Structure 1
Amino acid sequence: MLENKFSTITTDRLLLREIVDSDLENIYNGLSNPKITQYYGVSYNSLEATKEQMTWFADKKQLWWAICDINTKVFYGAGGLNDIDDQTKIAEIGLWLLPDFWGKGIMKEVLPLICNYGFKHLLLNRIEGFVESNNKNCKRAMAKLDFKLEKTVPDFEIKNGKPISIDIYTKTN
């Protein structure tokens, strides 16, 4: 496994930095919020349970950033690459934002930064986005950011006791 050297990324308004232990409450606030977890793969009902997510972030197969305001350091959400495979040079992209920061162009700004990092620093050939088929906002964002809809997989997984379909979006280097 390549050692994923963590780099801070900045723009005129955003700071993408390493997720640290002191982010536990911010991560909990996001991943316990029904507006976020409606289309997200995990949710937590306590700070203690959220420590599992912090352990996941620290795994070498993941590379996730805390997304913050460059000046105030206010936490907006998290984004990064999952299941980084050094053999196939493929990873999955993910991102979530606290609802107060929706509709402010943050996703549109952050996703290309994460992709560029994956292609240039991790030497990925392909980045995949797995989007629930009924998540219209995310699907629009993926299309605007030059991800191509590769296929829809019906009944891909069970969520809340019901099968859900997943649209697989891809971007190649």
Structure 2
Amino acid sequence: MSRIKNSDKPDIHRGLSMPEIIKFYGVSYSSLEETEEQMNWYSNLEKSKSGMWWAIRFKDSKKFCGAIGFNDYHDEHKKAEIGFWLFPEYWGKGIIKEAGKEIIQYLFSEKEIHRLEAYVEAGNKNSSRVLEKLGFNFEGRMIDSEIKNGKYISVDLYALLNDIE
């Protein structure tokens, strides 16, 4: 993994314009120019110290295959939110689980997070399954809690508590 950099913009655009990914993701972009909004979001997270995202790359080829990170970091509450996405051709290969373990270790050890949360659109079984494999617990469903494409959607809340404190 490596921090998201400007040269990743074409890969970020490719991922965040793919119907399979954006079906359950909060943002989408129809042009490379629009993707600059996402790149600015990554940059602003780091500047404000409220999060950080990394490119998921294959160790040997360094080929980009997705992104993972945290945002909504609150030092005073010792919590943050984790998020991720992966190109569909790499689904089911344990890549997010491997990257997730690294991020969780970093957050629990270096940032001293006590609670790590994940918000998953109801019906996104792949993300829910990955979170459960990472040890997250399902805490409940927030019914009609967000509007997406003009319709209310429900969101599942998962959390993982730091047991290495």
| Aligned-residue offset at 1:24 | 0.5
Mapped partners of 1:144, 1:172: distance in 2? 14
Q: Which of the residues 99, 112, 115 maps onto 1:126?
A: 115
Residue 163 of structure 1, aligned match among 139, 142, 152:
152
Q: CA RMSD in A?
A: 0.9
Equivalent residue, structure 1, for 2:68: 79
Query: How do 1:70-149 and structure 2 match up within 5 A?
Result: 70-149=59-138
**In 2, distance between residues paired with 1:97 and 1:40?**
11
CA shift, 1:67, in A, is 0.4
1:56-71 equivalences in 2 (<5 Å) = 56-59=41-44, 60=46, 61-71=50-60
The question of 1:51 aligning with 2:36 is answered yes
Query: Could you tell me how far apart the structure 1 residues matched to 2:80 and 2:3 are?
Result: 18
Match of 1:19 in 2: 4
Gaps of 5+ in 2: none
Partner deviation per Cα, 1:35-69 (whole Å, 9 max, x = no partner): 00000000001111101101111122121100001
Match for 1:37 among 22, 42, 57? 22
Q: SS state of the match for residue 112, structure 2?
A: coil
Aligned positions, number: 158
TM-score, normalisation: structure 2? 0.93
User: Deviating runs (4+, > 4 A) in structure 1?
Assistant: none
Unaligned runs of 5+ in 1: 1-15
| SS state at 2:144 partner | strand
Once the two structures are superposed, what CA deviation does each residue of 1:69-124 show, in whole Å capped at 9, x if it has no partner? 11111001000101111111111000100112111110111111111111111111
Give the structure 2 partner of residue 6 of structure 1. Answer: none
User: Which residue does 2:161 correspond to in 1?
Assistant: 172
% of aligned pairs identical? 48
Aligned-pair CA distance for 1:151: 1.4
- Whole-Å Cα distance in 1 between the matches of residues 42 and 59 of structure 2? 22
Q: Tell me the secondary structure at the aligned position of residue 42 of structure 2.
A: helix
TM-score between the two structures when normalised by the length of structure 1: 0.89
Tell me which amino acid in the other structure corresponds to 1:49.
E
